[in-house]
Amino acid sequence: MSRWFLEEKGFDLDRAISQGNKFLTGNGYMGIRGTLEEFEKKQLVAINLAGIYDRAGEGWREPLNAPNGLYTVLHVDGETYRLPEKSPIAHTLYLDYRKALFTRKTTWQTAKGKVTIETERFASLEEPHLLVMKYCILTEFCADIELVTGIDADVWDINGPHYAQIALSEEGSFIKAIGTTSENHEKVCVIEGCQTDFVKENKLGIGEKRILRNLAFTAEAGKRFEVTKWIGIYTSKDAKDFEEQAKVLVSQCMEQGYGASKDLHIQQWEERWRVSEVIIEGDDVAMEALNYSLYHLQAIAPRHTESLSIAARGLSGQTYKGAVFWDTEMFMLDFFLYTEPCIARTLLKYRLDTLEGAKSKAKSYGYEGAFYPWESQEGGYEACSDYNVIDVFTKRPMRTYFRDKQIHISSAVVYGIVRYLETTGDYSILEEGGIETVLECAKFYHSLLLKRVHKAFYELRDVIGPDEYHERVNNNGYTNRMAKYTFEQAVRMCDLLKQLPKSTRMRIEALYYIEKLREQFEEAAGRIYIPEPDEEGIIEQFDGYKKLEDVSVEQVRSRLLNEKEYWGGAYGVAAHTQVIKQADVVTWLTLFPKDFEEKILLKNWEYYEPRTEHGSSLSACMYALLACRCGMAEKAYPFFLKSASAEIDGEGKQWAGLIYIGGTHPAAAGGAYMTAINGFGGVYFEEGKIKVKPQLPPMWKKLRFKVWYKGMLYEVEETHQDYSVRTLSRSTR
Ligand code: BGC
């Protein structure tokens, strides 16, 4: 039987960091790291907020962590019981990821008997601004208890502190913390209401960054004492009267009661699982890893707004600056398209709404059109700096060119829009800026094309492909192919325009000389250089790639003088070799398998795989998908499992020198999903119909899942011998 929970026993401070990611709970508005109630910033506690950022001083701009309303410390008979300081005799973390409930149970031994705390918490999926926790205390003896609980506004930051001011106050029975950011003076408001039925004394203490209640009472032996905390979180970006709204929410929910809030939350999750769960009979490990990955995608899906995207590390903290990368469109989007298309729309709407930012980035480089940020924050602000890596030897910042040269980002946006159109059949997105976005991205690539006098084709020179270890290369196959795709889609948009409502047509025609653009893009699509396989069937990743030293990943690794050395850039150990960071040509072939015969796909898989370090969690799923395409389900399986287990294993890099770079890996989760559904499940769409061509790994007895396609929900069931596709319902959208 496949389990829907994750459990870890025993306390180990070193594991506490990765547990923060593994036991994350969230609802798209906030992500709460799976840390303990008594933890503070040094244990990387975070209630990470979506879509609100700050820049403190010269540091990187990053998302905000809200003041921590969960903060609670226990004292029994005058002694403090908290981790890591006091060793427990038993300690368990438990995440029910079907219901998105986090629980913790810790027992300490004292001379008089045992002291146990049990907590349960959830970020409500029903009410995005609500976080609720129940905290229970049980002693085997009669004891004087002091529970110090309130809001800790001394939050963990990577490049903070972000709150220039923190105002702490008491409002009736509520306590409140308001942090004001240093850059834009935005406010984050946390209001906490606390319910107990036994307290003798309730004193309030207000420090510089903490507002705490001191709940004192006498505990009877063997009796459970419960405290429920209701935490409302709003920012000044949410509403004008955000403080009022937070207060009203907390009062209403307190009145409703813990059980009712919890039930509504669970119902919402059940509703999501009804469509998104993937049943794999015969392989519990795969089924658990996959559904647990999907849990993570669900927990960070922006449901509270119509225009927001997902950061590369989800809501697990401030790593990667809380920025949105190509990860969303290329890796995560399909999951939402198939299971909750309105979320896919929200993600894309974010790109449409940040088109102006992308246009000004292009302009700043002297290009036309839209050059989307490599690391996008709100408003399309480019968060990627010129210096992304610190040299371990000189300790000097190294110039990296991700921001300037990873031009394939704009094509990812186009790919997402087109995939949305094709999977949902909802063309309204084109009326809301979709057409302009595609045209502007095509204009961008057009302005970059280079035609040499003696050559008949166009080139894209000085770029970085998905493999970031080789910077500033010419004619990266993936990039050129995606630019060609962008031109083709722009031509399609010019044609589609005729079918759109008159108002949209007129708006677009006033902006662009459509006939001329169409002609330009058509010509560019036909003449952009696309590398062909050589006599051995291998497609060169970029001009001159095959002339580089051909060594194994292990040989390259053995050349490191310091294990934290960066492999890429000008002097990196991989830069002058054929060793690559992540799937590159293989990503191209996965997206466009019809470009070549199957034997070419296979040859390139076999050529590039041993040369790939898989130094990014985005890599394995592309190898898994292409392996499936080549009929190698067995070979695909370990790559699939690697993607699906990114969080369960927790083996991803956590630190780069002194900088925390860990977090969750939603792109890997999305990649694992695509492998299960499109790879093993063989789902594809043709002539407006859903079709399947299953090829299950040997031990999978049955695969069952649901997929939305063009407003209809289908249930697909597959075995090694047979399959069925059933229509379940029609969307009311
Ligand atoms: C990868 C990029 C990816 C980024 C965020 C990098 O390590 O090379 O492709 O977009 O991480 O996940």
Residues 123 and 224 in one domain: yes
Ligand 1 neighbour 582 (Cβ under 6 A): yes
Pocket probe mutation, ligand 1, options 320, 327, 402, max atoms within 8 Å of Cβ: 327
Residue 677 placed within a domain: yes
Pocket probe mutation, ligand 1, options 330, 566, 618, max atoms within 8 Å of Cβ: 618
The amino acid sitting at 718 is E
* Closest ligand 1 atom, residue 582 Cα: 8
Residues 168 and 239 in one domain: yes
Q: 537 with 560: CB under 8 angstroms?
A: no
Q: Which two tokens stand for residue 115?
A: 């002291």
The partner residues of 205 in beta bridges, in order of sequence, read 212
Please give the tally of structural domains in the chain: 2
Task: State the Cα–Cα distance between residues 607 and 584, nearest whole angstrom.
Answer: 12
Residues 549 and 657 in one domain: yes
Task: State the Cα–Cα distance between residues 318 and 688, nearest whole angstrom.
Answer: 41
Please, which residues have CB within 8 angstroms of residue 118's CB and are 6 or more apart in sequence?
103, 104, 105, 135, 136, 138
> Within 10 A of 91 (CB to CB), how many other CB atoms are there?
18
Which residue among 254, 274, 294 closes a domain? 274
The amino acid sitting at 239 is A
Task: State the Cα–Cα distance between residues 253 and 474, nearest whole angstrom.
Answer: 59
Ligand 1 neighbour 583 (Cβ under 6 A): no
CATH of residue 515: 1.50.10.10
E strands of 597-701, at which residues? 655-656, 659-660, 683-686, 689-692
> Within 10 A of 549 (CB to CB), how many other CB atoms are there?
11
Residue 732 placed within a domain: no
What's residue 179's pLDDT? 98
Exposure letters 205-229 (e unless 16+ CB within 10 A, then b): eeeebbbbbbbbbebeeeeebebbb
Task: Return the CA Rg of the chain.
Answer: 27
Provide the 8-state DSSP code for 374: S
What's residue 283's pLDDT? 98
What's residue 2's pLDDT? 84
What's residue 190's pLDDT? 98
Gap from CA of 581 to ligand 1 centroid (Å): 10
Ligand 1 neighbour 646 (Cβ under 6 A): no
From the list 662, 672, 624, the residue with the least C-alpha distance to 314 is 662
Task: State the Cα–Cα distance between residues 219 and 228, nearest whole angstrom.
Answer: 17
Measure the CA dihedral 173/179/180/182, to 10°: 170
Residue 479 placed within a domain: yes
| CA angle at 35 for the pair 32 and 41, rounded to the nearest 5° | 90
Residue 702 placed within a domain: yes
With tokens 């697990």, the residue in question is 316
Residue 733 placed within a domain: no
Ligand 1 neighbour 667 (Cβ under 6 A): yes
Residues 231 and 314 in one domain: no
Measure the CA dihedral 530/534/537/542, to 10°: -50
Q: 691 with 47: CB under 8 angstroms?
A: no
- 41: exposed, middle or buried (Cβ count in 10 Å: 0-12, 13-18, 19+): middle
Ligand 1 neighbour 676 (Cβ under 6 A): no
Which residue among 249, 274, 299 closes a domain? 274
Residue 559 placed within a domain: yes
Q: 333 with 683: CB under 8 angstroms?
A: no
pTM above threshold 0.75: yes
Residues 112 and 77 in one domain: yes
Ligand 1 neighbour 466 (Cβ under 6 A): yes
Q: Which two tokens stand for residue 729?
A: 């319902």
Task: State the Cα–Cα distance between residues 392 and 401, nearest whole angstrom.
Answer: 18
Q: Which domain holds residue 399?
A: 278-726
275 φ, ψ (degrees, to nearest 5):
-95, -35
Please, which residues have CB within 8 angstroms of residue 264's CB and are 6 or more apart in sequence?
124, 126, 127
What's residue 16's pLDDT? 86
Write out the catalytic residue numbers: 468
Which residue among 274, 303, 327 closes a domain? 274
Residue 84 preceded by cis peptide, ω within 30: yes
From the list 575, 330, 584, 372, the residue with the least C-alpha distance to 466 is 584
For each successive 10 residues of the chain (733 residues), what is the average pLDDT? 93 90 97 98 96 94 97 97 97 98 98 97 98 98 96 96 97 95 97 87 89 94 96 97 98 97 98 98 98 98 97 96 98 98 98 97 98 95 91 90 98 98 96 97 98 95 97 98 98 95 94 97 98 98 98 97 90 96 98 97 98 95 98 98 91 67 94 98 96 97 98 97 92 59
> Within 10 A of 419 (CB to CB), how many other CB atoms are there?
17
With tokens 């040369």, the residue in question is 611
The amino acid sitting at 337 is L
Gap from CA of 247 to ligand 1 centroid (Å): 40
Residue nearest to atom 5 of ligand 1 (CA): 312
CATH of residue 52: 2.70.98.40
Residue 229 placed within a domain: yes
Pocket probe mutation, ligand 1, options 411, 471, 567, 616, max atoms within 8 Å of Cβ: 616
For residue 102, give the 3-state DSSP assignment. strand
Residues 206 and 289 in one domain: no
Please, which residues have CB within 8 angstroms of residue 381's CB and are 6 or more apart in sequence?
53, 61, 357, 373
Task: State the Cα–Cα distance between residues 150 and 139, nearest whole angstrom.
Answer: 22
Ligand 1 neighbour 616 (Cβ under 6 A): yes
What's residue 650's pLDDT? 75
With tokens 């935005």, the residue in question is 186
Task: State the Cα–Cα distance between residues 317 and 320, nearest whole angstrom.
Answer: 9
What's residue 304's pLDDT? 96
Residues 645 and 720 in one domain: yes
Residues 218 and 355 in one domain: no
E strands of 355-508, at which residues? 387-390, 397-399, 450-451, 458-459
Q: 327 with 41: CB under 8 angstroms?
A: no
Gap from CA of 614 to ligand 1 centroid (Å): 11
Residues 264 and 319 in one domain: no
Residues 287 and 248 in one domain: no
Ligand 1 neighbour 587 (Cβ under 6 A): no
Please, which residues have CB within 8 angstroms of residue 594's CB and are 6 or more apart in sequence?
none
Residues 387 and 402 in one domain: yes
Residues 282 and 270 in one domain: no
Exposure letters 273-301 (e unless 16+ CB within 10 A, then b): bebbbbebebbeebbbbbbbbbbbbbbbb
E strands of 331-418, at which residues? 387-390, 397-399
Q: 107 with 116: CB under 8 angstroms?
A: yes
> Within 10 A of 600 (CB to CB), how many other CB atoms are there?
17
Q: 162 with 179: CB under 8 angstroms?
A: yes
Task: State the Cα–Cα distance between residues 630 and 633, nearest whole angstrom.
Answer: 8
Please give the biggest Cα pair distance in the chain: 91
CA-to-CA dists, residue 72 to 171, 378, 651, angstroms = 20, 33, 30
Gap from CA of 260 to ligand 1 centroid (Å): 41
Residue nearest to atom 1 of ligand 1 (CA): 616
Task: State the Cα–Cα distance between residues 9 and 572, nearest whole angstrom.
Answer: 41
710 φ, ψ (degrees, to nearest 5):
45, 50
Pocket probe mutation, ligand 1, options 331, 388, 468, 661, max atoms within 8 Å of Cβ: 468
Task: State the Cα–Cα distance between residues 73 and 302, nearest whole angstrom.
Answer: 32
Task: State the Cα–Cα distance between residues 259 and 585, nearest whole angstrom.
Answer: 52
Residue 731 placed within a domain: no
Task: State the Cα–Cα distance between residues 153 and 121, nearest whole angstrom.
Answer: 19
From the list 15, 170, 134, 145, the residue with the least C-alpha distance to 80 is 145
Gap from CA of 616 to ligand 1 centroid (Å): 6
For residue 315, give the 3-state DSSP assignment. coil
Ligand 1 neighbour 400 (Cβ under 6 A): no
Q: Which two tokens stand for residue 530?
A: 């696309």
